[in-house]
């Protein structure tokens, strides 16, 4: 499965967005990861619908929209999404997970279920036919700059084994939270192939964005 790099746009300097996106285009970045928070499901606000729309107008890089909002099934239409994009919904955020996933599919996009660190894997068991990927949160969602929760590494491995044993080898595994160069290697070895890279990965003061991307690619060998 191809390794995909998904920079976390909440970690990108909004005043330098034009240059940042152009670096992503030149370096063939796979997806732009956009964190949408509603102050209820998670205790923070970040990016929103206009931000997604603006990115869509300025770049052809597909979006990876991470919805950390309650009742996502009623809000999917608010977002500008098409067949190239991923949209993830947290199973903890809705009583109607299957409905939320089928709304995403109706719009032609790829659907992903996100799991908080404490949520057991079997929460995805009955929606395997409705998803293209599982997002394993490796920190509790809400903030950048947190430390990896070590038990999530085992969870990635169990998720890969679980998906393969059920005959869902094509379902991808995304990881989000403290995806540093070092942690990314462990995550990849456990079975992840989509990496949300933020403040602990490519967005660092010590090196340029280009260098960060290069170093990340070397680490996960993609």
Question: Could you tell which of ligand DX5, Zn ion, none binds residue 198, using a CB distance below 5 to 8 A set by kind?
Answer: ligand DX5
Smallest separation (angstroms) from ligand DX5 to the CB of 179: 6
Choices 16-24, 83-91, 139-147, 163-171 (CB under 6 A): range interacting with ligand DX5: 139-147
35 binds ligand DX5 (CB under 6 A): yes
CA atoms of 74 and 203, how far apart (whole Å): 33
Choose between 128 and 217: whose C-beta lies nearer to ligand DX5.
217
Contact 172, 2 (CB under 8 A): no
- Quick one: which of 4, 56, 66, 188 contacts ligand DX5 (CB under 6 A)? 66
30 is catalytic: no
Choose between 193 and 199: whose C-beta lies nearer to ligand DX5.
199
DSSP type of residue 147: P
Q: What contacts 5, CB < 8 A, 6 or more positions away?
A: 29, 30, 31, 195, 197, 213, 216, 217, 222
- 198-217 positions binding ligand DX5, by CB under 6 A: 198-201
172 binds ligand DX5 (CB under 6 A): no
144 binds ligand DX5 (CB under 6 A): yes
In this structure, which long-range contacts are made by residues 120-124, counting pairs with CB atoms below 8 Å and at least 24 apart in sequence? Answer: 121/155, 121/158, 121/159, 121/162, 123/91, 124/91
Choose between 21 and 129: whose C-beta lies nearer to Zn ion.
21
- Quick one: which of 7, 62, 72, 177 contacts ligand DX5 (CB under 6 A)? 177
- 71-130 positions binding ligand DX5, by CB under 6 A: none
176 is catalytic: yes
Catalytic residue among 30, 35, 64, 132: 35
Choose between 167 and 197: whose C-beta lies nearer to Zn ion.
197
- 59-88 positions binding Zn ion, by CB under 5 A: 66
Q: What contacts 107, CB < 8 A, 6 or more positions away?
A: 76, 77, 81, 82
CA atoms of 99 and 124, how far apart (whole Å): 14
What is the per-residue burial (b if ≥16 Cβ within 10 Å, else e) of 93-129?
Answer: bbeebeebbbbbeebebbbbbbbbbebebebbeebee
Residue numbers of the site for Zn ion (CB under 5 A)? 35, 66, 176
Among all residues, which ones are annotated catalytic? 35, 176
Residue numbers of the site for ligand DX5 (CB under 6 A)? 8, 10-11, 35, 66, 139, 141, 144-146, 176-179, 196, 198-201
């Amino acid at each position: 499965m191809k390794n995909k790099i998904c920079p976390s746009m909440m970690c990108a300097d909004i005043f330098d967005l034009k240059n940042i996106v152009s670096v992503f285009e030149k370096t063939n970045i796979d997806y732009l990861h956009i964190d949408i928070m509603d102050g209820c499901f998670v205790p923070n606000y970040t990016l929103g619908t206009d931000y997604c729309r603006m990115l869509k107008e300025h770049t052809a890089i597909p979006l990876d929209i991470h919805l950390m909002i309650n009742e996502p099934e009623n809000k999917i239409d608010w977002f500008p999404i098409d067949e190239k994009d991923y949209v993830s919904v947290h199973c903890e955020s809705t009583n109607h997970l299957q409905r939320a996933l089928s709304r995403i599919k109706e719009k032609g996009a790829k659907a992903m279920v996100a799991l908080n660190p404490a949520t057991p894997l079997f929460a995805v068991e009955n929606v395997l036919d409705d998803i293209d990927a599982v997002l394993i949160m490796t920190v509790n969602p809400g903030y950048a700059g947190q430390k990896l929760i070590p038990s999530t590494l085992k969870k990635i491995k169990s998720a890969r084994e679980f998906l393969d044993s059920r005959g869902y080898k094509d379902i991808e595994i995304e990881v989000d939270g403290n995806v540093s160069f070092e942690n990314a290697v462990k995550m990849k070895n456990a079975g992840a192939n989509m990496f949300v890279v933020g403040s602990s990965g490519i967005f660092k003061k010590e090196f340029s964005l280009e260098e960060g991307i290069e170093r990340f690619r070397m680490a996960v060998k993609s």
